[in-house]
Amino acid sequence: MKVTVVGAGNVGATCADVLAYREIANEVVLVDIKEGFAEGKALDIWQKAPINLYDTRTVGVTNDYSKTAGSDVVVITSGLPRKPGMTRDDLISTNAGIVQSVTENIVKHSPDAIIIVVSNPLDVMTYAAHITSKLPRTRVMGMAGILDTARYRAFLAEELNVSPKDIQAVLMGGHGDTMVPLPRYTTVGGIPVTELISEDKLNAIVDRTKNGGGELVKLMGTSAWYAPGSAAAQMVEAIVRDQRRVFPVCVKLEGEYGIDGVYLGVPVILGKNGIEKIIELQLNEDEKQLLETSRGHVKEVMDALDNMSAKA
């Protein structure tokens, strides 16, 4: 299997590293526009192979998409990260053009690839990549739900003093403050989380999850990379190994949850064809309302992108 990661910054390089050391692909191509940058990162990952014992070949290229030809999966991490004081939506004007041009190059050289978008604002960049690629919606998706759920699970594990491995959760909606963690679907070793934690503490964890990316931007002056890069690699693994894992993934909704034409995180089955199935949960009225707020927000940003494209 051949996987391309576009963008050799922190997120892209972390993703490439996980793909290599976990031998998720035989070949990983790392692409960047900065001369020599991807080559250097790829060489560093390759030189780690004799230490960490893997044989995934890792290659870096400067903007040469011919080397990505025939990729099975492509992860797009290109674009600027946010700085303190910015929202993810503030990145739209810079990152939309980058994601569109990367997608054109990808599809030209790997028409059969499955595309995973990581660039922000995530849901709207997934929209940009999808319309540019003209691929079926099952093959263009965004990574956010695994990351947001991981944050939620990590905070719960810390609070309950249990292994994060035993926390199962699902989260829906856009990758922003309006995301919708679902306590009703959260379990700890099969036990409903609500039996183990007070409502106040759970609400505080839900709020911390919603602001999880911002918390890290404040601490580091730039956005996170270990968890986002690993989350994207986990999606690649589910696809290349046809694992049929159940993850929240950003995809264009076409009637599911009563929503049409908006890109939102929903639980899906991820396998060799990309999105094998969208799972429709029976949401209660409160959850429906939260999802509707999230839909409205993402749609506004999608409209902003459409207006920018119309003026260009």
Smallest separation (angstroms) from ligand LMR to the CB of 164: 17
Q: Which two tokens mark 45? A: 């990952």
295 in contact with ligand LMR (CB under 6 A):
no
* Interface with ligand LMR, residue 224, by CB under 6 A: yes
CA–CA distance, 70 with 114 (Å, rounded to integer): 11
Q: How far apart are CA 36 and CA 191, in angstroms?
A: 50
Kindly tell me which of 60 and 173 has the beta carbon lying closer to ligand LMR.
Answer: 173
Q: For residue 177, give every residue at least 6 positions away whose Cβ sits within 8 Å of its Cβ, in sequence order, or none.
A: 210, 211
Q: Choose between 143 and 156: whose C-beta lies nearer to ligand LMR.
A: 143
Flag whether 120 is marked binding: yes
Residue nearest ligand LMR, CB atom distance: 213
Is residue 26 part of an annotated ligand binding site? no
Q: Residues touching ligand LMR: how many (CB under 6 A)?
A: 12
**Nearest distance in Å: CB 81, ligand LMR:** 6
Is 175 among the catalytic positions?
Answer: yes
Q: Can residue 299 be called a binding residue for ligand LMR (CB under 6 A)?
A: no
Between 82 and 153, CB nearer to ligand LMR: 82
* Residue 88 annotated as part of some ligand binding site: yes
Q: Which stretch binds ligand LMR (CB under 6 A): 19-27, 45-53, 211-219, 251-259?
A: 211-219
Site string for ligand LMR, 27-66 (x = CB under 6 A): ----------------------------------------
Residue 63 known to bind ligand: no
Structure tokens at 27: 């070949």
- 95 annotated to bind ligand: yes
Cis before 121? omega within 30: yes
DSSP string, 259-279: -EEEEEEEEEEEETTEEEEE-
First-last CA distance in the chain: 38
Contacts of residues 89-94 at CB distance under 8 Å and 24 or more positions apart, as own/partner, are 89/121, 89/124, 89/176, 89/301, 89/304, 91/119, 91/120, 91/121, 92/121, 92/124, 92/301, 92/304, 92/305, 92/308, 93/308
* Residue 119 among known ligand-binding residues: yes
Give the phi and the psi of residue 105 in degrees, each rounded to 5: -65, -40
Q: Strand 191-192 to strand 187-188: parallel, antiparallel, or no bridges (unpaired)?
A: antiparallel
Q: Show contacts with ligand LMR in window 141-200 (CB under 6 A).
A: 147, 175
| Residue 211, H or E segment | none
Binding residues for NAD(+): 7-12, 32, 95, 118-120
List interacting residues with ligand LMR (CB under 6 A).
81-82, 88, 120, 147, 175, 213, 216-217, 223-224, 228
What residues act catalytically? 175
Binding residues for substrate: 82, 88, 120, 151
